[in-house]
Copies of this chain bind each other. A is one copy, B any other.
């Protein structure tokens, strides 16, 4: 029996996880395809809310938007390798999440919209379109991979900002 390669979270792992989320410009979103029941994956833009949770702005025309509306269980992969070096040694994190669509014009959505557009000003080009929605990803747990042999399991509490 091989021992589990997963380490308990420590402060360095928590800090790395929060840095990967805070600095992500985009990520890979896994959803369940409502037509086939199979997992599928696409790229979305990412920013964060004040609690450090990922947020995106997506169009109803995208297949992932329809999929999240039908089944909010999803996952995000964040942490992009650079153009050089072994991509598997670059740290990344998988967040297992529930996606929550924010009601347009609500106080929460209005505040998040302002924060998102300050961080991602190019999104102003389409943020006002009626088919675009803000979606908040509420992580339940995460797997952090800091490179070979450096795997950690984290909780939602490990990921939360402390202030």
Chain A interface residues (CB < 8 Å from chain B):
2, 5, 25-26, 28-33, 36, 38-43, 45, 60-61, 63, 73-77, 80-83, 86-88, 92, 94, 96, 122, 126, 131, 143, 145, 148
Contact A88-B26, Cβ < 8 Å, known A63-B143, A83-B82, A131-B2: yes
Copies of this chain: 2
Given A32-B38, A41-B75, 5 more A-B residue pairs with CB atoms under 8 Å apart are A29-B41, A39-B41, A40-B94, A42-B143, A83-B83
Q: B80 and A122: CB pair below 8 A?
A: no
Q: A26 and B81: CB pair below 8 A?
A: yes
Q: A77 and B143: CB pair below 8 A?
A: no
Q: A43 and B2: CB pair below 8 A?
A: no
Residues in B neighbouring A30, C-beta threshold 8 A = 28, 30, 39-41, 75
